[in-house]
Structure 1
Amino acid sequence: QNIFAGMEQTAVTDEQAKSGDATEQGESKTEKDEVEAPTDGDLKNPSKSVVNPTVPVQISNPTKKSEGYGRSYIAYTVTSTHDGKKVDVFRRYSDFVWLRQALEKNFPGCIVPPLPEKAVIGRFQGEFVSQRMRGLERFTTRVMNHDRMKKDPTVIRFLREQQLPQRNTIKSGTQAKKAFSMLSGIGSAMLNPFASEPTEGVETKEDKNCEEIESDAKKLHKILAALHAASSGQSKAEKDVTKTWLEMGHYLTELGRFEVDSSEEHFGGILAQIGKCCDRMSVCSAQCVDHSVLHLVEPLKVVYKLIEMALPHIRKKIG
């Protein structure tokens, strides 16, 4: 056993990847609102907003809401099944933060799955919103795949009750003291969905290997972080290529129309055909980018973040 909470990877289909054009959050009030808010089209079609209909908790129907004083946030419909009946509740990003902090307090010997990161700018843009939505669904899926966490009263309340209790955000410096845990190995930690019970004061065979495990974890974290940075950079470069194909298709099509209007129908037709080819290339390129982000960039980030969260636990065990 090990200290990682549910590690099952959420499967995402290509069709669902294209659909996540909007779901963002209720960020903390310190984050700045964007001048350009999502269009109605960005926040509609809730049925297609679900990342994966097979997961235990589905996130859908992102809706922009206002809380006054020019501040806006995005609320989600969180759907789960209890006693054979579907239950829908509405949650904003800060509600997920509250849930995670409560789980960290209630399960001090476990590594609670990470939430998607916040953003100061671009937080209402379709691409970021889509990534944020997938991240929230991965978080809830891993929580529900953990035998102990999914039964926690806080999780049950989060999934069933429309109104959550008034609360203050838990400061990182005042969190409950975490108990020691052991990590039996990086490989098994990546695959085992359960967390070990906290152990204190008893030296085991596994404890003697903690220093070696810490060294291996640091090396693995460094490699995965570098892979994520490289794959993320490649994805951005491919997005630029996609944009270039799209622009070429537009300008060639327009040039073809101009030539046709100038009685150069044959030449204009050729240019229009080339423009259509460029358009098709842009579509193919965009699909490749989506696939790369969903199945390479984001999974790499999740794994190296989990290892990053495990390192302090290992150091405590050594200490």
Structure 2
Amino acid sequence: TETNTEIVNMAVSSPDDSDSLRYDSDDISIGGDDSKISNLFNFVRDISKNNKLSDHVEILVSEHEKRSETGSMGMKDVFTTYLIEVRIREENGRKRQVAGNPSSLWRRYSEFEMLRNYLVVTFPYVIVPPLPEKRMTIMWQQMSTVDHFDADFIERRRVGLETFLQRVASHEEMGRDHLFHTFMLQDENWRETIVGTGFQSKQDSRLKNLNASFRLKKPDKRFEGLKIYAQELRNNISAILKTRAKLAGTLYGIHKIHGNYGRVFSEWSGIEKEMGDGLQSAGHFMDAYKDYIDDFMNEEEQISDQLKEYIYFADSLKAVCRKQEVMQYELEKSEELLSSKRYQRDQLLGKAPSKTLSLQGMRSKIFGPEKPEVKDARLRQLEDQIEEAEEAVLRNQSETMSFMEHALSEVERFKKQKGSDLKELFISYAVLQIKMAKR
């Protein structure tokens, strides 16, 4: 519709660089109609570069719903959708409050994947937050039969998707991207809009990444170190999760076997007269001990999911390193081309020795030396090619240096975030274990 087109145009317009947030709180009560969503777009657009979107907008993935539709071949497609709600925070003194009703829409997991792929291409130097896993991995034995439509698994994925959106919103650059905004606000034609950017054609293929990795002559030591760091992070987190899965399976079995003792004590209490009450109490205690493990395991799984996120963060870091290798390889190729063209020019001018078995040398011996006008034409052509190659080298150098500068800055930000998050996770895990031991 014309209204939706107007909304998108407002979203993609260049943001105001002023440091203040210019909006009237009376106009920002967000509901479902286009005019209120338009107000939200205007608000998001006017956030200055010195502010994070997450400081001024609350983003929630509040619900999930199982749906089905019939495809073109008559096949029934069953999937889960997630409700995204966006509210604006307004400052009242030092206290932030959420203003108005939320703007909301439903998104499929595949649309979250499309958004993340777009962000990876658009911000190649950023360690883009990962999505929650589509199917369970590194699970303890009791969870091995859970499918990807299980209610608990879907709920945990909902939490992971909410974390993903909040992490993107808290990033200074990704949080300002207009297609990220429209993902949360534009219900219709969002897929067509993002596909129209052509981001899919800009993705580096695996073959290109491998080619750059093997043929790179001068790899940057800093990024080589980051590749090792990312792999070690992945291995260490995986080892922790696998150990935890074994412990969880063992602990779960110990607790559940007490249910058998509870049943024995309950039956025994009916036989014994003097000890009946005591045996009955012991049976109830065993039953409670058996049932308590379920809640405990649910809490542990939540911590495990947050820890698992850093396995995929490590993959995101390795993706940044692969991109650096591709850019470095392109720079080396452009430098080699420039060197080759300069050498050909020097050969033509007699400043460099000709190769013994070169095609040009054989031609000169057979047909004689080139005519002056042919030589001049070749020289002019080489000069043009050298000029183009020099421009390509300068362009690649500038892009590579800019990428590396931004990427290293992102790595430092990621390390601080990782240290803070893992510290909080391990403290939560220790507190949970203490709580369990006290029972």
Where on the TM-score scale, by shorter chain, does this alignment land: which range? 0.5 to 0.7
Residue 299 of structure 2: which of 277, 284, 291 is its match? 291
Which residue is 1:18 aligned to?
none
Instruction: Give the structure 1 partner of residue 134 of structure 2.
Output: 118
Query: What TM-score results when the alignment is normalised by the length of structure 2?
Result: 0.46
Match of 2:388 in 1: none
1-side partners of 2:114 and 2:318: how far apart? 23
1:23 is matched with which residue? Answer: none
Structure of greater relative contact order (alpha carbons < 8 Å, 6+ residues apart): 1
Residue 128 of structure 1 is matched in structure 2 by 153
Residue 177 of structure 1 and its aligned partner are, at CA, apart by 4.0
**Paired residues, number:** 232
Q: Secondary structure at the match of 2:190?
A: coil
How many angstroms apart in 2 are the aligned matches of 1:71 and 1:254?
49
TM-score (norm 1): 0.60
Counterpart contact for 2:126–2:320, Cα < 8 Å? no
Name the aligned partner's letter for residue 161 of structure 1: Q
Q: What is the distance in 1 between the residues matched to 2:69 and 2:273?
A: 57
Aligned equivalent of 1:56: 58
Write the letter of the residue equivalent to 1:115: L
1:238 corresponding residue in structure 2:
251
Contact 1:56 1:144 (C-alpha < 8 Å) held by counterparts: no
Among 278, 285, 297, the alignment partner of 2:286 is: 278
**1:77 alignment partner in structure 2:** 83
Cα RMSD of the aligned pairs, angstroms, is 3.5
Structure 2: distance between partners of 1:141 and 1:65:
25
- The counterpart of 2:122, out of the listed 100, 106, 109, is 106
The CA distance in 1 between the partners of 2:116 and 2:251, in whole Å, is: 34
- Could you tell me whether the CA contact under 8 Å between 1:81 and 1:87 is conserved in 2? yes
Give the CA deviation at 1:247: 5.7
SS at match of 2:153: helix
Determine if the alignment matches structure 1 residue 216 to structure 2 residue 223.
no
Aligned partner of 1:126: which letter?
A
C-alpha displacement at 1:266, in angstroms?
5.3
State how far apart, in whole Å, the 1-side matches of 2:63 and 2:260 are: 32
Secondary structure of 1:80's match?
strand
Equivalent position to 1:176, from 195, 202, 207: 202
* Partners of 1:70 and 1:275 in 2: CA distance: 49
1:108-162 superposed Cα distances (whole Å, 9 cap, x missing partner): 3323211112239611223322321221122111111112212212221121133
After superposition, residues 127-276 of structure 1 pair within 5 angstroms as: 127-167=152-192, 174-177=200-203, 207-246=220-259, 248-249=261-262, 251-252=263-264, 255=267, 260=270, 269-276=277-284
Q: 1:304: how far off? A: 2.3
Change (3 A) 1:61 1:224: closer
Q: Residues 217 and 146 of structure 1: is their aligned pair in 2 closer, same or farther, counting only changes over 3 Å?
A: same
Once the 2 structures are TM-superposed, how far is the Cα of residue 103 of structure 1 from its aligned partner? 1.8
Look up the match of 1:96.
112
Over 3 Å counting, the alpha-carbon distance change for 1:275 and 1:63 in structure 2 is farther
Instruction: Check conservation: 1:224, 1:300, Cα contact below 8 A.
Output: yes
Q: d(CA) in 2 for partners of 1:148 and 1:253?
A: 63
Measured at CA, do residues 163 and 240 of structure 1 come closer, stay the same or move farther in structure 2, by a change above 3 Å? farther
- Structure with greater Cα Rg: 2
> How many percent of aligned residue pairs carry the same amino acid?
23
- Shift of the alpha carbon at 1:252? 4.4
| Matched-pair contact (CA < 8 Å) for 1:157–1:164 | no
- Given candidates 309, 314, 317, the residue that maps to 1:310 is 317
Cα distance between partner residues in 2 of 1:270 and 1:168: 70
Does the CA-based 8 Å contact 1:246-1:282 persist in structure 2? yes
Change in CA separation of 1:303 and 1:88 when aligned onto 2, cut-off 3 Å: same
Distance 1:211 1:283, change over 3 A: same
Query: 5 Å matches for 1:15-30?
Result: none
Give the deviation of 1:292 after TM superposition: 2.5
Q: 1:160 to 1:174 in 2, by over 3 A?
A: closer
Check the 8 A contact 1:103/1:149 in 2, yes or no: yes
- Residue identity in the other structure for 1:313: V
SS at match of 2:324: helix
Contact preservation (8 Å) 1:252, 1:274: no
Q: Tell me the distance in 2 between the aligned counterparts of 1:70 and 1:271.
A: 55
Cα distance 1:210–1:76, how it changes in 2: closer, same or farther (>3 A)? closer
Equivalent pair of 1:227/1:300 in contact (CA under 8 Å)? no
CA distance in 2, matches of 1:115, 1:164: 23
- Pick closer, same or farther for the CA change 1:75–1:174 going to 2, 3 Å: closer
Shift of 1:166: 4.3
Counterpart of 2:132 in 1: which secondary structure? Answer: coil
Aligned to 2:68: 66
Deviation at 1:308, TM superposition (A): 2.2
Query: What CA distance in whole angstroms lies between the structure 1 residues aligned with 2:260 and 2:118?
Result: 48
> Per the alignment, do residues 66 and 269 of structure 1 end up closer, same or farther by CA in structure 2, a change over 3 Å counting?
farther
Structure 2 residues without counterparts, runs of 5 or longer:
1-56, 90-98, 137-145, 205-217, 330-439
